A and B are shown apart, each in its own frame.
Chain A
Amino acid sequence: MISPVNAIATLEAMGISHVVWIPDSLFGQWEGHLQNSSLRLIRVCREGEAWPLAAGLWAGGAQPLVIMQTTGLFESGDALRNVGFDLKCPLYAWIGVRNWLNPNSPDSARRFAVPQVDAWQLDHVWVENDGDFGRVKEHYADCRTAARLGIALIAEGAG
């Protein structure tokens, strides 16, 4: 179980300044908490916008976080390629993995999630419940130190 309160508190503890997002069914429940937090919420129209927007924030000295579902990761592949591997911006993202908690789900978004993450060689950690947020903070710090792109995969139910 992931609590919105603990998720937002984790982002604040990480020092995130802006959240660039397109919500899914899980992340959508966080909207009110995000709006009442110290984080600035930036709403994009498609996921391909999110990566270069976050790159611009990073270039300006901010600490952005990108939030999207794996379906958005599929959609935004070229933007991720460019920002992560051409510009080499050390961005961090939380990616919701739809139906990961439903092992028998026929959802193709579930089926291709891990192969996609592996294909992009994305350094990642998994989050299944609030107890994993400590690991996310450590991973984020490691990625910042190494100046590399990183993601946390958020295990979701049906979405």
Chain B
Amino acid sequence: MSRRIDELDESSQARLPCEDVLRILAEYRRDDEIVVTNQMSARVWPAFSEHELDFNYLSSTMGGAIPLALGLALAKPELQVIVLSGDGSLLMNLGCLATVVASNIENLTVVLLDNGLYEVTGGQQTAGSLAKVDFAAIARGCGIENSIAVQNAEHWRELISKRRTKCAIQFYAIKVDRISPATPRNSTTKVDEKIKALRERLTQKSVAHRQQSC
């Protein structure tokens, strides 16, 4: 079931702790799934997951995570790719959602962590938060039919645990709080070694993947 964020009453719009969103994703992430993180999520994802198919894209170009994940999805159609993007990054590159759909893939999941802020630079408001942008509606308008505004932690758990992979592009928009200062941050160095290592894993051995009929 999906509802637009602006259709929700005030009490159900409460932002989820970002850590809870990541913890639930890490819990249900499958072994044959590539996870691409970006900006703040790249800094904290290692506190929840250490997996050989993780790519913490940092340093990055803002708005680059979804295109990079799309490239992986195109090159490895037998694997599911999950990408975590912030709302500020997506706002810089909204057209990438049209590119995703036009690329005719079925193995990409976009998780939008929408805190309405440029968190890495100290928490300044984005234009999107002032404009009350409905990202799930934008994704749906770009042709992503499975586009859902996540309502609460239970909803997120249900969606991520029951999702079907390699069947259709998925877009989950989640309102989140800022990451707690107590959550450990990852080192931001050696991104070139990280992507090279990912490439070696993806090209030098076959990653066991589950077959699924849609």
Tell me the A residues contacting B by CB distance below 8 Å.
18, 40, 42-46, 48-62, 64, 78-79, 81-83, 86-89
Query: Chain B, 31-75, contact with A by CB distance < 8 Å: what is the 0/1 string?
Result: 000000000000000000000000100011111110111111111
- A–B pairs, 9, beta carbons within 8 Å: A46-B93, A48-B93, A56-B71, A56-B72, A59-B202, A60-B202, A60-B203, A82-B60, A86-B192
| A-chain residues with CB within 8 Å of residue B71 when the two chains form the complex | 52-60, 62, 64
Complex Cα spacing A57 to B199, Å? 10
B33–chain A nearest beta-carbon distance, Å: 14
Verify if B133 is at the interface (C-beta below 8 Å from A).
Answer: no
- List, in ascending order, chain B residues with CB within 8 A of A87's CB: 191-192, 195
Residue of A nearest to B76 (CB): A60
Would you call B102 an interface residue if the criterion is a C-beta within 8 Å of the partner chain's C-beta atoms?
yes
Smallest distance from the beta carbon of A22 to chain B beta carbons, Å? 11
B residues in contact (CB < 8 Å) with A: 55, 59-65, 67-76, 93, 95-96, 98-99, 102-103, 191-192, 195-196, 198-199, 202-203
With A and B bound together, what is the CA distance between A51 and B96 in angstroms? 12
Per DSSP, chain A at the interface is helix
Q: Is A86 in contact with B202, judged by CB distance below 8 angstroms?
A: no
Give Cα A60 to B203, complex, Å: 7
With A43-B99, A44-B99 known to touch, is A89 a contact of B64 (CB < 8 Å)? Answer: no
Give B187 Cβ to nearest chain A Cβ, in Å.
14
State the Cβ distance, B149 to closest chain A Cβ, in Å.
Answer: 23
Question: In the complex, which of the residues B55, B61, B96, B98 contacts A81, with contact meaning CB atoms closer than 8 Å?
Answer: B61
CA of A125 to CA of B79, assembled, Å: 37
| Whole-angstrom distance between the Cβ of A74 and the nearest chain B Cβ | 15
Decide: A52 and B192 in contact? CB cutoff 8 A: no
Q: How far is the CA of A18 from the CA of B71 in the complex (A)?
A: 10
B51 nearest CB across to chain A (Å): 15
Whether the Cβ atoms of A52 and B67 lie closer than 8 Å is: yes
- Chain A residues within 8 Å of B69, by CB: 56
Q: Which residues of B contact A88 (CB under 8 A)?
A: 192, 196
For the complex formed, measure the closest distance between the CB of A132 and the CB atoms of chain B, giving whole angstroms.
28
How far is A54 from B75 in the complex, measured between Cα atoms in Å? 10
3 interchain residue pairs of minimum CB distance? A56-B71, A60-B75, A45-B95
Q: A35: shortest Cβ distance to chain B, in Å?
A: 13
Distance A50 CA – B99 CA, assembled complex (angstroms): 10
Q: Tell whether, in the assembled complex, residue A18 and residue B99 are in contact, meaning their CB atoms are under 8 Å apart.
A: no
Q: Which residues of A contact B98 (CB under 8 A)?
A: 45
Give the chain B neighbours of A46 by CB distance below 8 A: 93, 95
Q: A57-B71, A59-B202 given as contacts; is B192 within 8 A of A49 (CB)?
A: no
Of the candidates B72, B76, B96, the one whose C-beta lies within 8 Å of that of A45 is B96
Residues B67 and A49 in contact, CB atoms below 8 Å apart: yes
Q: Which residues of A contact B74 (CB under 8 A)?
A: 18, 40, 42, 56-57, 60, 62
CB distance from B59 to the nearest CB of A (A): 5
